Structure 1
């Protein structure tokens, strides 16, 4: 196991692991408590797999994200992909139950909320893992050597702004996006159905954000509307 060598030009502090861990545990908990009649017991297999992935990743970086190997990188991206994939399956199950005439409106509303929140967290984790090589590289490698950015944040363009705004810019203060930044990006995309915070730059990120926005639209326009109709 190797500690990532910090380039002399970098002053950004390595990111703490706990915000991503808390978000992941919330997403797994939400998936675990989905109504049993909507999603069967196989969801507990997914929860167990998520926790199993988390253990070695926490051992590699228990506090700050300073270490990375090929296997830890594959495992961390795979965990985020697993959560996103499972949530898309849960969304399809919800829609299928509606089409099949499921009449438990409170259960559907609760499940829709759980799937929507877990979707926000899952995509936030995936954005966080993919952009600019992931959380370890973002704070240690020379910026000229980082993989191309998937997102453009406002701080990446604020160098020429007034002093109090430029103080937080990437160029002047070595600002780097953290998990909370990607969580907000994911949340705003799910609510507005379009990029309203960070702008996607790569095709893969545009496709992911489009998939997330579509899932959010389906939940709000179909699942919740149908559930309210049942209540009436």
Structure 2
């Protein structure tokens, strides 16, 4: 009897604590309908990527160096006008517009990376060590932003679907999902979390504290690690040879 009464009292205590703290939702925030995340972080990252593209040498660009950045800014402006403050579901055209923007940034940076590798393999003499390191760092940093955008756009159907709680199974497992007591009750992943994931994957060449769960997430992280590894190894090796 004592064990039963103690167990009943402990349950009552837990219920009272939940009611007192206002935590009436059983499901965590990342599994239920919430407000759309603020747009400022993803907008700032895209603007940085566009600025980095404008700094690339003309020989590494797919079109005239201003062409793709201008088109990307036009698409970004359309997204901001449609949802100026938060990333919220309006219609499917906006999602396709966002995907087109990420594809353009990916295409431009992928072309630049391929051209840089080609120049390194053929030993382009016009590249001095400083220019090579700056160009390689430019492409590497843009690559971090590009994959952060892809992770953010595809995890559980994208930011709009995450806001509506449509997908209950995560593609990426964050620490706060495993240990909810380490985060506020309204925590859910936002763009800066995916940017951190992309950065650590590019530097460690492997997952750190965020685990990919689905096959596409694992393949995308593997692709990013490969691109980052090839870029860093070739650029650093060539730059060391060019230093006097």
User: Is the structural similarity TM-score above 0.5?
Assistant: yes
1:123 aligns with 2:144: no
Q: Is the 8 A contact 1:77 1:130 kept in 2?
A: no
The correspondence for 1:168, drawn from 171, 183, 198, is 183
1:220 aligns with 2:232: yes
Give the match's secondary structure for 1:34: coil
Q: Distance in 2 between matches of 1:38 and 1:65?
A: 33
Q: For the structure 1 residues 74 and 11, does the alpha-carbon distance in structure 2 shift closer, same or farther, using more than 3 Å as the test?
A: closer
Q: For the structure 1 residues 220 and 167, does the alpha-carbon distance in structure 2 shift closer, same or farther, using more than 3 Å as the test?
A: closer
Q: How far is 1:36 from its partner?
A: 2.5
Q: How far is 1:212 from its partner?
A: 0.8
Aligned residues: 213
Measured against aligned partners, the alpha-carbon deviations of 1:47-67 in whole angstroms (never above 9, x if no partner) come to 112112111111111011223
Q: Is the 8 A contact 1:12 1:175 kept in 2?
A: no
Normalized against structure 2, the TM-score is what? 0.81
Q: After TM superposition, which residue ranges in structure 1, 4 or more long, deviate above 3 angstroms?
A: 9-13, 37-41
Measured against aligned partners, the alpha-carbon deviations of 1:53-99 in whole angstroms (never above 9, x if no partner) come to 11111111101122331110111122223222321221110011112
1:36 corresponds in structure 2 to 58
Structure 2 unaligned spans of 5+? 1-28
Deviating more after overlay: 97-106 vs 182-191:
97-106
The correspondence for 2:112, drawn from 90, 103, 106, is 90
Q: How far is 1:11 from its partner?
A: 6.7
Normalized against structure 1, the TM-score is what? 0.84
Q: For the structure 1 residues 210 and 78, does the alpha-carbon distance in structure 2 shift closer, same or farther, using more than 3 Å as the test?
A: same
Decide which structure has the larger Cα Rg and report it. 2
Measured against aligned partners, the alpha-carbon deviations of 1:9-43 in whole angstroms (never above 9, x if no partner) come to 94744211011011001011101111224436533
Q: For the structure 1 residues 41 and 30, does the alpha-carbon distance in structure 2 shift closer, same or farther, using more than 3 Å as the test?
A: same
Structure 1 unaligned spans of 5+? 1-6, 160-165
Q: Output aligned runs, 1:104-115, within 5 Å.
A: 104=127, 105-115=129-139
Q: Output aligned runs, 1:1-232, within 5 Å.
A: 10=32, 12-39=34-61, 41-103=63-125, 104=127, 105-139=129-163, 141-142=164-165, 145-146=166-167, 148-159=169-180, 166-168=181-183, 173-232=185-244
